[in-house]
Structure 1
Amino acid sequence: MTDLGVAVDGVPEIDLTDIEVLRDPFTAYGAARERSPMARIQIPGIGQVWVVTRHADAKAMLSDPRFEINADSFTPPPGIPAECLPYMRTMAEMNGPEHMRLRRLVAPAFSVRRAAEFRSRIERIVEILLDSLPSNGEAAGDGSVDLLRHFARPLPIEVICALVGIAEPDRPRWRDYGALVAAGVGQGFAEAVPGIINGAKAAIARRRDEIADDLLSDLIRAQAEDGDRLSDTELVTLVWHLVLAGQTPTNLIANSVRALLAHPDQLTALRADSALIPRAVEELIRWCGPTLLTIPRYAREDVELGGVLVAKGAPVTASVAAANRDPRAFAGTGAQPDQLDIRRTVTPPGHLGLGHGPHFCLGSAVARVETEVALAGLLRRFPDLALAALPEEVHHVPDPGTWRLASLPVTL
């Protein structure tokens, strides 16, 4: 078990270079949570960062306007060409009216209703990908298939391209960009930025000539009706950011499949009752969702949080890994918070796996439906689906911010 350092003020300090923290962040952050509502970490490029460890405090911080996301919250890779920089300030680092203006323009396309209407298209995409699995080749010599590479990774880019309105001829380049983002390659992303920006411009130009029933067409119409609502630069930025941000379900789907295959009792229950799938997805987001730490916020003034004084300008993040297993929030909703329980009662306070507050995940409804459809398709089509390795041999990437697999070898 990881030994937590403790500063002279009694606040736990978590070493993000500790291999045990990277291997099992849930235990490390859980230990910190039970010792204190606040901890500290060091993040390269940012420095010392406060970490909120308990659910109630994390939820409060994420919705408190005194903590804001800004340009300092992100550490873009070096080497992005100067002409591309105007397109790099996304909605994610905006606050207040500026953030809400852009969010309101795109929110209808990501509503619960729209996600439900889009389910049949997601089902068709899932079926196509599942059809290709046995012959998708590159199965290992033992007959296993990497479900991350051949299913969980390509699915979200196909879904988001269809939802946003990226035309079929333009999708191959976005598949490449999506794979790059999903793999977490920082410098590779910087090198791809010019192509990404040009790809967004090309998608907009094509849609101006071929208006359809999709988000991009809606944004073009909104701009034509009132140019003050959306500038050309904002439109290009929205397109590339929405498409690439749509890769979130990649790691959620892969983590979910691995968790179910490593918990046969849960898998058996889900196979026996497919009506449990929506509840199971909520539990899987809580228990093994990809977000470990939220994007850092910065205090706009001195704020007392979790019993400590956070000075003006200090960065703060929430440990989703700790908050989502906080017994103060989840002890009465089913099994113990550290246990996976797909029958867990879905009641307030709810998990923070998709964020909270003004920057709550815009695509949360789509991500839920996408994961539901993916799991339902896999379980229906492959009754003998199993890990092609011991659970402890299916490794996660040593990433302190995101819980993601390096691969997911399975037998079909």
Structure 2
Amino acid sequence: MPPTPVSPTGIDAPAAPLSTALPPSLQDLIGKHPGEPNVMDPDLLADPFGGYGRLREQGPVLRARFMDDTPIWLVTRFDEVRAVLRDPRFVNSPYSIPGHTGPDPRTRLMELLGIPEEHTVYILESLLTSDPPDHARLRRLVSRAFTAPRVRDLRPRVEEITDTLLDELPGHADENQVVDLIEHFAYPLPITVICELVGVPEAYRPRWRNFGSDLASLDPQRIGVSFPVMIDHIHELIATRRTEPRDDLISALIRAQDDDGGRLGDTETVTLVMTLVLAGHETTAHLIGNGTAALLAHPGQLRLLKEDRELLPHAVHELMRRCGPVQMTQLRYAAEDVELAGTRIRRGEAVQPVLVSANHDPRHYDDPERLDLTRQSAGRGEDHVGFGHGTHYCLGAALARQEGEVAIGRLLRRYPDLSLAVAPDQLKFQVRRRQPGAWRLLNLPLRLTRTV
């Protein structure tokens, strides 16, 4: 039996109860089915690395329960997770199951989360939840903004934004010369980049931080108020760009809508903007935060990176593997009966690939709990599933990696004596705020210079 995983940032997972109680709508569903873990179980929220690691060692495919208490299959090991993510027999929408005529099994969760019925379409019919051929059509419309040449062209602007934020960091320090890296660097960098790319004016960008926070809260009251406001806001952005087109993605989507005979609908345009802005800054912000915390907790690896900046691309991959902020994918549904690792998954049943347990699978990695910036891929391409795999591989992965490289590299060069300003166990993680499938620092208090 491999050792129980520890917090990959080097910071102990909180042993105390969750800081905020779950909403009653979700709390009442936990523990109703002994032997079938619920993804909202407190131990999994507080320590997903250890919790899902223990489940992985029980088997590659396990019966469990989703947030709304619906039965799911957890897929926990590297090979099986990759197999599901690239298998077209596992679809993102239940309506892609041949012959499906029943109710949408996802609507109950929308109700529990407080999303008004008239707005559920913006989640249930998005780029993330679509399947071919619609998925290919939608992805093609936005993929040009994220090609390798386009991402390379963005690098000077990413570096400029990074340097400006680093210049401003000392001005955000408190009387003890402590600054919160999440608030003043990790978040502002990616949200500035993605908003400039998509076409969200600077004055509106703080709203998106609030929108993301409200959705992550899983509080039905907050979501019920915030989600419609976000949708109305996106409609207003699109309306403005119709009369004032610019060189941004919203304007490009409007042109595609007009030039393609309406094949890109109004709802699809809204969901694309919503998905790109939210996904385009949340993941990268917490890759920077988690990664910085991990490096500061592993001085040997930090020293190695300072001595050899050519390791930065490897370092970002290893940090995404070991402490990536995204720990699960969207649910998949079996479009037909499928045999997976000796388990029969029936047509229509839901499957939950677990990225965090796959990325720590000792069957695939030597000493997976060790942070090793020199870890080499076993073959061609990236050797982790932090950005997913297959058809729904993260559209913005190249941009996220580039932002991570620029942010961490320049941060360490500008402030070589950077250090944690609190004991590691004092850091509070967003997992304590009841969001399953995520490992995100609420704050990262740092001292920029060494004190005598």
TM-score normalised to the size of structure 2? 0.81
Change (3 A) 1:285 1:45: same
Q: Does 1:344 align with 2:378?
A: no
**Partner SS state of residue 140, structure 2:** helix
Q: Tell me the residue number matched to 2:32.
A: none
Q: Deviations over 1:53-96 (max 9, x none)?
A: 11111101111122111264583354444554444431111111
Query: How far apart are 1:176 and its partner, in Å?
Result: 3.6
Counterpart amino acid of residue 397 in structure 2:
S
Q: Give the 3-state SS of the residue equivalent to 1:200 in structure 2.
A: helix
1:50 is paired with a residue of what secondary structure?
strand
Tell me the amino acid that sits aligned with residue 149 of structure 2.
R
Aligned to 2:299: 264
CA distance in 1, matches of 2:436, 2:206: 30
**Contact 1:154/1:175 (CA < 8 Å) preserved in 2?**
no
Task: For residue 19 of structure 1, report the CA deviation from its aligned partner.
Answer: 4.8
* Residues 201, 236 of structure 1: 8 Å contact kept: yes
Structure 1 residue aligned with 2:409:
376
Is 1:168 aligned to 2:234, yes or no? no
Q: Aligned partners of 2:244, 2:38: CA distance in 1, in Å?
A: 52
Provide the C-alpha distance between the structure 1 equivalents of 2:178 and 2:137, rounded to a whole number of angstroms.
Answer: 47
Q: Deviation digits for residues 73-121 of structure 1, max 9, x if unmatched?
A: 5833544445544444311111110111111111111122211111111
Q: What residue identity is the alignment partner of 1:388?
A: A
Moved more, 96-105 or 38-47: 38-47
- Which residue pairs with 2:11 in the alignment? none
Cα distance between partner residues in 2 of 1:113 and 1:55 = 31
| Aligned with residue 58 of structure 1, among 76, 81, 84 | 81
Give me the identity figure in percent: 47
Mark the CA change 1:31 to 1:169 in structure 2 (over 3 Å): closer, same or farther: closer
Between 246-255 and 394-403, the greater mean CA deviation after superposition: 394-403
Match of 2:277 in 1: 243
**Residue equivalent to 1:6:** none
Residues 188-214 of structure 1: per-residue CA shift (max 9 Å, x gap): 233122221222122222323333332
The equivalent of 1:192 in structure 2 is 226
DSSP 3-state at the match of 1:45: coil
Give, in angstroms, the shift of residue 322 of structure 1. 1.4
Asked if structure 1 preserves the Cα contact closer than 8 Å seen for 2:283 and 2:326, the reply is no
**Letter of the structure 2 residue corresponding to residue 108 of structure 1:** R
Aligned-residue offset at 1:357: 1.5
- Compute the displacement of 1:182 (Å): 6.1
1:203 aligns with 2:234: no
Q: Is the 8 A contact 1:53 1:318 kept in 2?
A: yes
User: Taking structure 1 as reference, are residues 36 and 179 closer, same or farther at Cα in structure 2, changes over 3 Å only?
Assistant: closer
SS of equivalent to 2:339: strand
What residue ranges of structure 2 are gaps of 5+ in the alignment?
5-34, 94-103
Q: Which of 205, 208, 221 does residue 255 from structure 2 map onto?
A: 221
Indicate if the aligned counterparts of 2:178 and 2:445 stay in contact, CA closer than 8 A: yes
What do the CA deviations read for 1:260-300 (whole angstroms, capped 9, x no partner)? 00000111111111111111000100110012222211112
Letter in 2 for 1:287: R
Q: Does 2:141 correspond to 1:105? A: yes
Alignment CA distance shift 1:27-1:193 (3 Å): closer
1:174: Cα distance to partner?
3.3
**Compared CA separation, residues 174 and 34, structure 1 to 2 (3 A):** closer
Q: Out of 192, 212, 223, which is 1:158 matched to?
A: 192
Q: What amino acid is the match of 2:82?
A: K
Q: Which residue of 1 aligns with 2:65?
A: 42
Q: 3-state SS of the aligned residue for 2:443?
A: coil
- Aligned partner (choices 39, 45, 49) of residue 22 of structure 1: 45
Tell whether the 8 Å contact from 1:63 to 1:358 is kept in structure 2 after alignment. yes
SS at match of 1:49: strand
2:418 aligned residue: 385
Matches of 2:218 and 2:421, distance apart in 1: 24
Tell me, in whole angstroms, the C-alpha distance in 1 between the residues paired with 2:445 and 2:182: 8
Whole-angstrom distance in 1 between the partners of 2:131 and 2:48 = 30
Identify the range of structure 1 (389-398 vs 401-410) with the bigger mean alpha-carbon deviation.
Answer: 389-398
Q: State the match for 1:299 in structure 2.
A: 334
What amino acid is the match of 2:195? C
Q: Distance in 1 between matches of 2:359 and 2:417?
A: 31
Alignment CA distance shift 1:61-1:85 (3 Å): closer
Deviation at 1:361, TM superposition (A): 1.1
Distance 2:106 2:169 in 1: 39
Q: Give, in angstroms, the shift of residue 369 of structure 1.
A: 1.0
SS for the counterpart of 1:258 is helix
Q: Deviations over 1:219-276 (max 9, x none)?
A: 1222222233312222122212221221221221111011000000111111111111
* Stretches of structure 1 lacking an aligned partner (at least 5 in a row): 3-11
Q: State the Cα RMSD in Å.
A: 2.5
Counterpart secondary structure, 2:344 = strand
Q: Distance in 2 between matches of 1:347 and 1:163?
A: 34
What whole-Å deviation, never above 9, does each CA across 1:375-409 have from its counterpart, x for those lacking one? Answer: 01211111111111222332322343111122211
**Displacement after TM superposition at 1:152 (Å):** 1.5
What aligned pairs does 1:63-82 form with structure 2 within 5 A after superposition?
63-70=86-93, 72=105, 75-76=109-110, 78-82=113-117
* Structure 2 counterpart of 1:8: none
- For residue 356 of structure 1, report the CA deviation from its aligned partner: 0.9
8 A Cα contact 2:172 2:184, kept in partner = yes
Query: CA offset at residue 162 of structure 1?
Result: 0.7
CA distance in 1, matches of 2:273, 2:221: 21
Structure-2 separation of matches of 1:387 and 1:371: 19
CA contact (8 A) 2:114 2:220 kept: no
- Are 1:147 and 2:178 an aligned pair? no
3-state SS in 1 of match to 2:133:
helix
Distance in 2, matches of 1:274 and 1:181, equals 37
Any conservation in 2 of the 1:291–1:353 contact (CA below 8 Å)? yes
